[in-house]
Structure 1
Amino acid sequence: MLPVLGCALAALLVGVLPYWLDLFTLLSLTIYLVMALLALSLAFIWGFGGILCFGQAAFFGLGAYAYAVGVLNIGDSTWPVLLAIAVPALFAAAMGYFMFYGGISDVYLGVITLAVTLILFNVMNSTSGSEYHIGSALLGGFNGIPAIPTLNVPFDPERVLEPETLFQVIGGALILCYLGLRGLLASRFGKVVVAIRENEQRAGLLGYDTRLHKLIVFSLGGGIAGLAGCLYANWGAFVSPGVFGLAQSAQIIIWVIVGGRGTLFGPILACIGLQALMARLGEQQTVDSGLVLGAILLTFVMLLPRGLLPSLGTLAGRVFKRRSASTSAVPQEGAV
């Protein structure tokens, strides 16, 4: 009940904030929500599927490029949005099939996903010539693809969404994905996925196809990351090979570690908070923002390995138990 009320409050804020905030603040908050959607995708794959993917930026970048190429060729953003979800999801399914059905261990899986991300980064950097194009869309190499048309009303390219409406669409997408994943995790499929995370061998002995479940989780996470990449391309009307960068992959993992594995809301909260902090630190020259981010990561790994939200939940539970114990220990009036 509490998550539903929280989502209702979030939906209310998404609906009214564009009319309260100035344009710069609104655009900043918009990119925070886009990255929160990306953090949500890894929170699902790693936190519940137990799949440590270092290449979530690969799906993010594929979604951004798929949308850019699609909308530049079609003109209407309706089908390119679906393309931006389908391409990374299918790419994740192809990768996952060879990794999970090939018996690749978790450590090598992380190395493979990271290697694929770096390969995509180098490949896209090498497409700067005029011969590198898909239809009418020039890939641009390290210069990227500029002037990407933003979202329009479905099947009506003449009605382009304003920044206020785009913020509401992105916020709505984040809320819907969060609710959808919570519903999925509450289902029989989700319970099996968590059981596989806890003990894959035992789940397999009980008759569940662990490889298929992990493949579905990996593909869903890739599709959500692709949607985030699509929305990122809309936010800046630009995409470059930097979306496949190593720093991008590392940031996503940090968001999940800080927010807490095994939760969906924790990484969202950590992503928004850390992005706001990095933006504030970027306004000054005294303290290096990368150093601060590294210190935060070390603090959580060493002192709060479960992450922010689970640690707060444990602390709140202990306080509640102590208060309950102290209340029950107080003699009631008239008691002997």
Structure 2
Amino acid sequence: MKSLRLGGAGAVIIVALVVMFALPKTISAFGVMQATLFAAMAVYGLSQGFVWGYAGILSFGQAAFLGIGGYTYAIAAINLGDTTVSAALAIVAPMLFAALLGYFMFFGRISDAYIGVITLTVSVILFELMNSTSGSQYHIGEAVLGGFNGIPAIPVLAPPGAPDEPLDQIGVWYVAMGTLIVAYALLKWILASRFGRVVVAIRENETRAMLIGYDPRVFKLLAFVTGAGIAGAAGCLFANWGGFISPTVFALTMSAQVIISVLIGGLGTLIGPILGAVAIQYLINVAGTQHVIDPSLGLGIVLVAFVLLVPQGVVPVVRSALLRVFSSSKEVKAVAPNAAANPESRP
């Protein structure tokens, strides 16, 4: 099983690298732009997949960290002119906010249901707060917040030390896919470490983990902060994808979208949220080009269908099927030599 997991992770990274370098050579510039959005949403899906699937923390407001990351990058890039520092701040700011929020939630011993309600409420508050910032008086330095209209003309990422040479669309794609690969590898490493094993143990039985000497509050808080940082990186990529950020990034639809992505891909996996996020974003893009079915209604139908028909998610179902096939083939190979050595046992 361990060798299969390592082989699977290596295969995922290799496939991602192939896609990263081959895709720009095979599709149009508009296709690369859409693929960049898919990569950003996949990073966002990873953040929820880790926090919910492995740490057992159902954050209904993961969009709060996505939005904080996007807004932090936009404001810092406009004021500082250094997109490298701005990208780092886009990761750090959501982590600090998550550390403050998580401290009161986990050390206050708030139950899981109320944690979901609190995170959802925080995203709603941030949505309403940013909506109410229309007017030139609402600004941070040179960055005018713009209210519902958002912040346009966000500076694009540039190589470190060369702020006057912004990346083109293909360059942003490489950064987005590189971030996705790094986030996936980082979470794999975390889950293979002692910290990751304790996080999973707390998810399985918090009382038992506490009785053997671990403080669940500390591990939950660290996992929550890690997920917030990854969501912040996704927010930075999202702002670079469109060169624009608005309060809709905090909307309930963004939080619902990532939850649906994890459910479809499969809880307790990392590749599942990636595939689920790409699939959901593709469906949203397709739904936006037609006027027969409301996109939100379509997402609801997809969610209900998967919950009823494939409650485990796609990746766990496929993995179970492959394991059964693999086990069956090993049993056949083990029985064959015995049958050859004992002809009397043949039917």
Report TM bin, short chain.
Answer: over 0.9
* C-alpha distance in 1 between matches for 2:296 and 2:327: 39
Q: 1:37 aligns with which of 35, 43, 47?
A: 43
Q: Offset at 1:146?
A: 0.5
Partners of 2:330 and 2:85 lie apart in 1 by 56
Structure 1 segment 3-82 matched on structure 2, within 5 A: 3-82=9-88
CA drift of 1:287 comes to 3.7
Structure 1 segment 141-290 matched on structure 2, within 5 A: 141-290=147-296
C-alpha deviation, 1:326, in angstroms: 6.2
CA distance in 2, matches of 1:324, 1:185: 28
Deviation per residue, 1:55-93 (Å, 9 max, x gap): 100000000000010010011201111111111000000
User: 2:343 corresponds to which letter in structure 1?
Assistant: A
State the TM-score, normalized to the length of structure 1. Answer: 0.96
Q: Give matches, 1:104-119, under 5 Å.
A: 104-119=110-125
User: Could you give the per-residue CA deviations for residues 23-72 of structure 1, whole angstroms, max 9, x where no partner exists?
Assistant: 11111111010000000001010000100001100000000000010010
**Which AA in structure 2 matches 1:335?**
P
Task: Report the CA distance between 1:334 and its aligned residue.
Answer: 7.6
Measured in 1, the distance between the counterparts of 2:79 and 2:294 equals 42
Letter of the 1:238 counterpart = F
Q: Which runs of 5+ in 2 are unaligned?
A: 1-6
Matches within 5 A, 1:85-100: 85-100=91-106
Give me the whole-angstrom Cα distance separating, in 2, the residues matched to 1:57 and 1:155: 31
2:299 aligned with 1:293, yes or no? yes
* Alpha-carbon distance, 1:328 to partner: 6.4
Structure 1 residue 335 corresponds to structure 2 residue 330: no
- Secondary structure of the corresponding residue to residue 116 of structure 2: helix
What is the distance in 2 between the residues matched to 1:143 and 1:2?
Answer: 43
2:29 maps to amino acid: L
CA distance in structure 2 between the partners assigned to 1:78 and 1:324 by the alignment: 51
Pairwise CA distance, 1:321: 4.2
Of 137, 142, 148, which aligns to 1:136?
Answer: 142
Instruction: Give the distance between the partners of 2:45 and 2:317, measured in 1 at CA.
Output: 19
Q: Which region of structure 1 is more displaced relative to structure 2, 234-243 or 300-309?
A: 300-309
Q: Give the distance between the partners of 2:132 and 2:284, measured in 1 at CA.
A: 30
Work out the CA distance in 2 between the residues paired with 1:37 and 1:91: 19
Check conservation: 2:257, 2:280, Cα contact below 8 A: no
State how far apart, in whole Å, the 1-side matches of 2:259 and 2:275 are: 14
1:5/1:313 Cα in 2 relative to 1: closer, same or farther (>3 Å)?
closer
CA deviation vs aligned residue, 1:175-221 (integer Å, no higher than 9, x gap)? 01100110010001100000000001110111011101100000011
| Deviation of 1:305 (Å) | 1.6
Specify the SS of the correspondent of 1:156: coil
Task: Report the Cα distance in structure 2 between the residues aligned to 1:192 and 1:3, rounded to whole angstroms.
Answer: 21
Using the size of structure 2 for normalisation, the TM-score is: 0.93
RMSD, matched Cα = 1.6
CA 1:33–1:73 in structure 2 vs 1: closer, same or farther (change >3 Å)? same
Where structure 1 has 5 or more consecutive residues not aligned to the other structure, the ranges are: none
Measure, in 1, the Cα distance between the counterparts of 2:115 and 2:69: 21
Cα distance, 1:301 vs. partner?
Answer: 1.4
User: 1:229: how far off?
Assistant: 0.4
In the alignment of these two chains, the number of paired residues is 336
Other structure's SS at 1:170 match: helix
Give distance in 2, aligned partners of 1:79 and 1:73.
Answer: 11
The farther-off stretch of 96-105 and 130-139 is 130-139
